A and B are shown apart, each in its own frame.
Chain A
Amino acid sequence: MMLLYNILIIIAVLLLTPIAVGLILGIDRKITAKCQSRKGPPLLQPFFDLFKLFGKEHVITNRWQYFCTYIYLVSAQLAIVLLFLGADLLLIFFVQASCAVFLVIGAMAVPSPYSQIGAHRELLQVLTYEPLLILIIIGIYMTTGSFMVDAVFAVNRPLLYDLPLMIVVLGYVLTIKLRKSPFDIASSHHAHQEIVRGVHTEFAGGNFGIVELAHWYEIGLALCLCMLFWATSIWGALAVLAIAFFLEILVDNISARMTWSWMLFHVWLVGFTLAAINLIWLYMR
């Protein structure tokens, strides 16, 4: 019975995540267009883009790209499935780290200098947010006494009360993950802002579709982590999600892309400070 239940969860997560994330991205593009007093694309535009990419020729420069994109997709899916199965947060962290790295390896597998520079920048982004993510997970551990996701649901008090500064840190991670300004260093979420496409430059056609889909699962994971901060009620979780996402769009529209050194310095300075204050407060209580 448990097995059947788990299989149902896995299927539901794999199917519903792209639908939900696609809709969220569609809303994002609509709101962004409205901010710039444009009409903007239809709500379903992200799905059109994805289906179109799947219908295109698979062009690869190097066979490793194939391997890396599929591993990227599978590990992104695995990470979010593990989250919904209530697994260990550290395990989820390592799986999602491996999925970020496989995108970089795929971009490095080709000699194109654009792709190489994009890959290096992506690595710097990974370097920037991974330590913060670990601190957030440690914060969750100090509140719930366990690394398991299930433990978050066991305490009947929203994590937000104990980790108010950690959600700000998670906001930084989310901005980097969503590839939004000012942290869209490796590749922008808006394709038209790019001269070339950074880490995505050498992924083409159907292969690029798979990279996009994997990225949707990654976004899904990051958004679910946000919702975990108010896991006690579905409305609270949705409110956290909505506020976080609205702030992301706002920041994206009012800021310009910065350099990687600024990102590393700023995010580490603010992120580590906030995380340390929060952790020390938890420890002293």
Chain B
Amino acid sequence: MDETVKNTKPQKRLKPSSDAFKQVREAKIGLIRKLIAKARIKSPWLLHFDCGSCNGCDIETLACLTPVYDIERFGIINVGNPKHADILLVTGTVNHRNKKVLKKLYDQMPDPKVVVAIGACALSGGIFRECDNVVGGVDRVIPVDVFVPGCPGKPEAIIDGVILGLQKFVQKQKGAKDGD
């Protein structure tokens, strides 16, 4: 009798070790995680690195910033600073000179981050592939998440590539959660 009465009493304060407390805490953490995940998709800041491109791809990339394409409507901002960037856009082939710079820029970006390689050159080395000093595509130096083909890649394709990169954020987050 006493036991049942005790159990039905409403608990005023949850004990840190109790399951209910853990559930509440999990729910709170889950909510914050969801909020941040949503914000991450809504606010990707780009860093554009010209890794030895013929400038064709660069012109198309910068065209996205013009009022015609207006990428700011997706919350996208082109920042010049790797320390503030979420997405690294790389155009052009990698050569032995600039591979260190590329690696350094990638390392300076705080996690989570996504790399989008733009144009035939960034994919495989393109028409410069056979050159002496060329290492090849961007994926030889840093992990690439999205490849945007074309010579040069169209602004529409580049915007699509960035949006695809945002979905990678979600996947990466899921992967991280499963790994916990």
Specify the chain A residue showing the minimal Cβ separation from B78. Answer: A192
B81-A40 in contact (CB<8A): no
| CB contact between A204 and one of B40, B67, B80, B84 (< 8 Å): that residue | B84
A38-B43 in contact (CB<8A): no
Q: How far is the CB of B137 from chain A (nearest CB, A)?
A: 27
Q: How far is the CB of A268 from chain B (nearest CB, A)?
A: 31
8 CB < 8 A contacts A-B: A41-B73, A51-B39, A52-B36, A52-B39, A52-B42, A194-B81, A196-B81, A204-B108
A41-B81 in contact (CB<8A): no
Interface size on A, residues (CB 8 A): 36
In the complex, whether B70 has a CB less than 8 A from a CB of chain A is yes
Specify the chain A residue showing the minimal Cβ separation from B69. Answer: A38
In the complex, whether A203 has a CB less than 8 A from a CB of chain B is yes
Tell me the bound Cα distance from A47 to B43 in angstroms: 9
| CB contact between A191 and one of B40, B45, B110, B112 (< 8 Å): that residue | B45
* Chain B residues, CB < 8 A from A39: 70, 73
- B97-109 CB mask vs A (1 if < 8 Å, else 0) is 0000000000010
In the complex, whether A155 has a CB less than 8 A from a CB of chain B is no
Tell me the bound Cα distance from A268 to B135 in angstroms: 55
- B61-97 CB mask vs A (1 if < 8 Å, else 0) is 0000101001011110111110110100000000000
In the complex, whether B35 has a CB less than 8 A from a CB of chain A is yes
Using known A-B contacts A33-B70, A40-B72, A52-B43, determine if residue A204 contacts B110 with beta carbons closer than 8 Å: yes
A57-B67 in contact (CB<8A): no
* Chain B residues, CB < 8 A from A52: 36, 39-40, 42-43, 86
* Chain A residues, CB < 8 A from B70: 33, 38-40
A36-B67 in contact (CB<8A): yes
* Chain A residues, CB < 8 A from B130: none
Using known A-B contacts A38-B67, A197-B84, determine if residue A57 contacts B111 with beta carbons closer than 8 Å: yes
A51-B81 in contact (CB<8A): no
A202-B39 in contact (CB<8A): no
A56-B67 in contact (CB<8A): no
| CB contact between B73 and one of A38, A48, A200 (< 8 Å): that residue | A38
* Chain B residues, CB < 8 A from A146: none
Specify the chain A residue showing the minimal Cβ separation from B65. Answer: A192
Specify the chain A residue showing the minimal Cβ separation from B80. Answer: A195
B36-A33 in contact (CB<8A): no
Specify the chain B residue showing the minimal Cβ separation from A49. Answer: B43
* Chain A residues, CB < 8 A from B38: 48, 51
B39-A205 in contact (CB<8A): no
A55-B80 in contact (CB<8A): no
B81-A33 in contact (CB<8A): no
Using known A-B contacts A39-B70, A40-B72, A40-B73, determine if residue A55 contacts B78 with beta carbons closer than 8 Å: no
Tell me the bound Cα distance from A201 to B47 in angstroms: 13
* Chain B residues, CB < 8 A from A50: 39
Tell me the bound Cα distance from A45 to B70 in angstroms: 15
Tell me the bound Cα distance from A29 to B78 in angstroms: 15
* Chain A residues, CB < 8 A from B108: 204
Using known A-B contacts A57-B111, A192-B78, A197-B79, determine if residue A48 contacts B84 with beta carbons closer than 8 Å: no
B83-A42 in contact (CB<8A): no
Tell me the bound Cα distance from A197 to B77 in angstroms: 13
* Chain A residues, CB < 8 A from B40: 52, 55
* Chain A residues, CB < 8 A from B74: 41
Using known A-B contacts A39-B70, A56-B112, determine if residue A204 contacts B83 with beta carbons closer than 8 Å: yes
* Chain B residues, CB < 8 A from A55: 36-37, 39-40
Using known A-B contacts A54-B36, A208-B84, determine if residue A48 contacts B43 with beta carbons closer than 8 Å: yes
By CB atoms of chain A within 10 A, which of B73, B80, B81 has the most? Answer: B81
Using known A-B contacts A40-B72, A52-B40, determine if residue A191 contacts B67 with beta carbons closer than 8 Å: no
In the complex, whether A258 has a CB less than 8 A from a CB of chain B is no
A191-B77 in contact (CB<8A): yes
Using known A-B contacts A56-B111, A202-B83, determine if residue A45 contacts B67 with beta carbons closer than 8 Å: no
